Amino acid sequence: MNDKEITINNVLRHSMHDFLNSLHLIQMNLDMGRVEEAKKLISNYSSKCNQFFDINNIGLSQTNEWLQTFSMRYNKMTLVVQTSLLSSGANKYDAALREYLECFLQSIYPNLRGYQEQLLKVHIKMDEQLEIQIEVQGDWSSQPWMEESFTTLFQIEKQVNTENELKLKLIASERLE
Per-residue pLDDT tens listing for the chain (177 residues)? 445 688 889 889 988 999 999 999 999 999 999 999 999 999 999 999 999 999 999 999 999 999 999 999 998 899 999 999 877 889 999 999 999 999 988 888 888 876 778 999 999 999 888 999 999 988 776 655 555 556 678 888 888 888 788 899 999 887 766
Domains and CATH numbers, the chain: 8-172 (3.30.565.30)
- Residue 84 parent element (H or E): strand 78-85
Return the SS3 of 119.
Answer: strand
136 three-class SS: strand
